[in-house]
Amino acid sequence: MPRDLPPDALPAPDNAIEIDGLTKTYRGRFGQKEKRALKGVSLSVPRGSFFGLLGPNGAGKSTLINIMAGLVTKTAGTVRIWGADIDRDERGARLAIGVVPQELNLDPFFTPRELLEVQAGLYGVPKAERRTDEILALVGLSDKADAYARTLSGGMRRRLLVAKAMVHAPPILVLDEPTAGVDIELRQQLWEQVKELNRRGTTILLTTHYLEEAQELCDRIAIINHGDVVACEPKDTLLKRLDNKALHVTVREALTAVPPALAALAPELVEPRKLVFRFKPSETVMGEILEALRRAELSVVDLSTEEADLEDIFLQLTSSAAAAGGTSKDAARA
């Protein structure tokens, strides 16, 4: 694929990716029913963001990524990548994006250096502009530059795929479940490298099942379920959505029932000396609970709080979408 403009010479749009009303229906074959994998997805990925696309198995994440990568044909809707419409300027869209696929599909008889050189050739990157050694260093594979790919560990292969997606210096990097099967240490290394790319300005779109990773890495998160977007917000807004906190209190006195003075707060007596108060921080301040405990003449021995995390939100949103028959807007408003 010849390349006219280095991606950094392209005008920088506000949104690295803009998806509007995207639908995909896989035709049923061999008597199977057709499958609506995407049901009118609209999403914007701001330039420079670290964007997480979360969803359970079969939600439609790979379909979405494969449409962006030009591997799957959409049924309807528009997709603009770095300002290039995938229907009208397919090449512009392809040049602006580097995709790290889920499968470790590498030619075993190429070395990392050869692989990156071949890939650079495919994208028409002139020899003088190739950054093979720099990219290998960035993904921590300098010392394996001349080893056959088949001798690399799973984690190294994964990092090589990241390197391969970067040879044409795309301003957007898409990672489809990049840490599946990668051990914890290598996962951390990979994340550090991807974070560094993001700090240097690359927009990252990541799909993952690991909620805690999305929580740690991403600044914006979209949740997709049954082909619908059920949430798309800055991470902090999403985390604030669950207005729920739990206060765990250990008291000196052994209780057999919740004292009447606490009844209005409806705590749960989980053990004779342990009470759990669930409350909405927007409505109840913790001081009110402590004051009620004092009125009930209980001596507090220990206190700890528990905040909602992304996992809670994820479960809440995906289950409410299922209950609502999977309609995105209703679920997102719920």
Ligand X SMILES: Nc1ncnc2c1ncn2[C@@H]1O[C@H](COP(=O)(O)OP(=O)(O)OP(=O)(O)O)[C@@H](O)[C@H]1O
Binding positions for ligand X, rule: CB under 6 A? 26, 35, 37, 55, 57-63
- Enumerate residues 6+ apart whose C-beta is below 8 A from 70: 86, 90, 93, 94
- Decide: 48 and 197 in contact? Cβ < 8 Å: no
Q: How far is the CB of 159 from ligand X (least distance, A)?
A: 21
Closest by CA position to 24, among listed 75, 58, 61, 62: 75
Pick the closer one to ligand X by CB: 51 or 279. Answer: 51
Report the C-alpha gap between 110 and 145 in whole angstroms: 10
Smallest separation (angstroms) from ligand X to the CB of 35: 4
Question: For ligand X, which is the closer residue by CB, 55 or 259?
Answer: 55
The least CB distance from residue 195 to ligand X, in Å, is 23
Of the two residues 3 and 61, which places its CB atom closer to ligand X in the complex?
61
* Of residues 135 and 176, the one with the C-beta less far from ligand X: 176
- State in angstroms the smallest separation of the CB of 71 from ligand X: 10
Going 168 to 172 to 173 to 176, the CA torsion angle's sign is negative
CB 7 within 8 A of CB 95: yes
CB of 39 to ligand X, least distance (A): 11
- The DSSP-derived string for 174-238 is EEESTTTT--HHHHHHHHHHHHHHHHTT-EEEEEES-HHHHHHH-SEEEEEETTEEEEEEEHHHH
**CB-CB contact of 41 with 196 (8 Å):** no
Nearer to ligand X, 24 or 130 (CB): 24
Torsion 109-113-201-98 (CA) sign: negative
Which C-beta is closer to ligand X: that of 62 or that of 179? 62
CB of 7 or CB of 60, closer to ligand X: 60
Nearest distance in Å: CB 313, ligand X = 18
Best CA proximity match to 164, nearest among 105, 233, 208: 105
Task: Give 229-241 as a DSSP string.
Answer: EEEEEEHHHHHHH
Sole residue written with tokens 């029913």? 33
Rounded Cα distance, 334 and 318, in Å: 11
Token couple for 301:
């021995």
Taking the complex as a whole, how short is the minimal distance between the CB of residue 55 and ligand X, in angstroms? 5
**Minimum distance from CB of 199 to ligand X (Å)?**
28
Chain position carrying tokens 């009303």: 21
Nearer to ligand X, 115 or 217 (CB): 217
